[in-house]
């Protein structure tokens, strides 16, 4: 699409016929010639309003993205979500763009591409959200669902965000993609870069202007992706939430996970065969005891006693304050439990005492149902 490239050169905010025809956009009046030229050869249609479904169908031809295949499908407003945990929810009218950047055959003979899914709502709120992946990636996350930043609220798409996700350059959640050097690069950072750029370009094509604000949100592997964006592509997003970022997975985060398990396993009660019952290293009551003590010590340090410890640096909690003076009781922890908590929250260390990974901030969330797992 050479013309699309030329159009971008002319305009700081990419516009095409699909966006220009929308009456809500002032730019529609400014570019009648280009509008006709980008109109897919049907100049007579230029004066007619384009339905969202038609704009969706036209998007691949107008996108002008290099080395990228695109398909689109339109979801009408109030379509009921099929199946799944969120079944029954009504979806807003939106265009689902499925893309594959740089499709290729890897050194292992397998097919690779940077896959992405972009949902473009009819009633766009001017904002763009990139939702992160997790684990080894390899799947396209449903961009119509709630994300980690919107639990309990309407999905970002439902709020009017344009939302994108990527499979990070390979299909399948195993680590076998590691055999291919380019797939490793794609997983590390390149797929996120390319997906963000493609998504913003498609947003420009669809709506006739770039996003007012752009955000990234991810957890675990997605948290690491957020940190990566902040370092390599710091101007891509106005804000990033990097939840529980799993950094240096092979030498850091995984070592920390093993360290934690070892600490808790060592103090867990044993079953009849002598096997440790890891889940019983702490009872729920024990964890509530710790959570309440953390709150009492640290909650208000952020200025608001609301159950959340947001000034983690100011929190100097020491679980020793909970240690039983005598036998373990309901209102105190054993010395072994106190020791295990200290070891876990200060992070893994080698035999010379050198820290191998970050510790954890004291947080009353440790009494929440998911913490133990």
Which of residues 298 and 332 has its CB atom nearest to Ca ion in the complex? 298
* One residue of 77, 306, 335, 346 binding Ca ion per CB under 5 A: 306
* Rounded Cα distance, 281 and 267, in Å: 6
Here the tokens at position 370 are 């998911």
Output the CA torsion sign for 222, 228, 232, 234.
Answer: positive
- Closest alpha carbon to 91 in 112, 110, 75, 114: 75
Is 312 a binder of Ca ion (CB under 5 A)?
no
- Closest alpha carbon to 157 in 94, 115, 203: 94
- Closest alpha carbon to 179 in 239, 279, 96, 112: 112
Inter-residue contact 267 to 243 (CB < 8 Å): no
CB of 305 to Ca ion, least distance (A): 6
Is 315 a binder of Ca ion (CB under 5 A)?
no
Binding mask 242-281 for Ca ion (x = CB under 5 A): ----------------------------------------
CB of 188 to Ca ion, least distance (A): 36
Which of residues 69 and 310 has its CB atom nearest to Ca ion in the complex? 310
Question: Contact region for Ca ion (CB under 5 A) — 35-43, 188-196, 270-278, 300-308?
Answer: 300-308
Is 193 a binder of Ca ion (CB under 5 A)?
no
Task: Write down the H helix ranges in 140-282.
Answer: 181-185, 191-207, 221-232, 254-267
Inter-residue contact 241 to 218 (CB < 8 Å): yes
* One residue of 186, 286, 299, 363 binding Ca ion per CB under 5 A: 299
Which of residues 66 and 314 has its CB atom nearest to Ca ion in the complex? 314
* Rounded Cα distance, 246 and 224, in Å: 5
Which of residues 24 and 368 has its CB atom nearest to Ca ion in the complex? 368
Here the tokens at position 132 are 């992160």
Question: Contact region for Ca ion (CB under 5 A) — 37-45, 105-113, 298-306, 364-372?
Answer: 298-306
Is 308 a binder of Ca ion (CB under 5 A)?
yes
Is 137 a binder of Ca ion (CB under 5 A)?
no
Which of residues 6 and 304 has its CB atom nearest to Ca ion in the complex? 304
CB of 294 to Ca ion, least distance (A): 11
180 CB-near residues (< 8 Å, 6+ apart):
106, 107, 108, 110, 112, 170
Which of residues 54 and 300 has its CB atom nearest to Ca ion in the complex? 300
CB of 292 to Ca ion, least distance (A): 14
- Closest alpha carbon to 208 in 38, 2, 1: 38
- Residue 274's alpha-carbon distances to 212, 264, 277, in angstroms, are 60, 15, 9
CB of 293 to Ca ion, least distance (A): 15
Is 58 a binder of Ca ion (CB under 5 A)?
no
Is 53 a binder of Ca ion (CB under 5 A)?
no
Which of residues 57 and 315 has its CB atom nearest to Ca ion in the complex? 315
Contacts with Ca ion by CB under 5 A lie at: 299, 302, 304, 306, 308
């Amino acid at each position: 699409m050479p013309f699309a490239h030329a159009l971008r050169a002319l305009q700081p905010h990419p516009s095409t016929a699909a966006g220009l025809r929308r009456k809500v956009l002032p730019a529609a009046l400014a570019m009648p010639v280009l509008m006709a030229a980008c109109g897919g050869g049907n100049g007579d249609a230029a004066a007619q309003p384009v339905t969202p479904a038609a704009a969706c169908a036209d998007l691949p031809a107008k996108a002008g993205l290099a080395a990228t295949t695109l398909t689109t499908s339109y979801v009408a407003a109030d379509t009921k979500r099929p199946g799944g945990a969120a079944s029954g929810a009504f979806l807003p009218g939106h265009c689902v763009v499925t893309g594959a950047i740089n499709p290729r055959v890897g050194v292992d003979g397998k097919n690779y591409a940077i896959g992405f899914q972009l949902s473009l709502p009819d009633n766009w709120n001017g904002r763009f959200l990139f939702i992160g992946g997790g684990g080894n990636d390899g799947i396209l996350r449903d961009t119509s669902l709630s994300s980690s930043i919107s639990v309990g609220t309407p999905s970002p798409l439902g709020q009017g965000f344009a939302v994108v996700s990527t499979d990070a350059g390979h299909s399948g959640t195993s680590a076998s993609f590691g055999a291919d050097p380019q797939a490793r690069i794609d997983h590390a950072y390149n797929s996120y870069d390319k997906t963000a750029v493609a998504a913003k370009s498609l947003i420009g094509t669809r709506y006739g202007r770039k996003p007012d604000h752009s955000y990234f949100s991810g957890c675990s592997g997605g948290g690491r992706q957020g940190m990566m964006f902040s370092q390599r592509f710091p101007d891509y997003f106005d804000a990033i939430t990097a939840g529980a970022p799993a950094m240096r997975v092979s030498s850091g985060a995984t070592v920390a996970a093993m360290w934690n398990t070892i600490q808790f396993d060592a103090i867990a009660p044993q079953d009849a065969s002598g096997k440790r019952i890891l889940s019983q290293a702490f009872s729920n009551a024990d964890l509530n005891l710790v959570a309440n003590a953390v709150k009492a010590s640290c909650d208000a340090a952020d200025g608001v006693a609301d159950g959340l410890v947001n000034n983690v640096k100011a929190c100097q909690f020491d679980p020793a304050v909970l240690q039983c003076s005598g036998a373990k009781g309901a209102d105190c922890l054993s010395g072994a439990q106190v020791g295990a908590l200290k070891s876990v929250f200060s992070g893994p260390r080698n035999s010379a005492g050198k820290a191998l990974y970050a510790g954890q901030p004291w947080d009353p969330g440790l009494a929440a149902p998911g913490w133990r797992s």
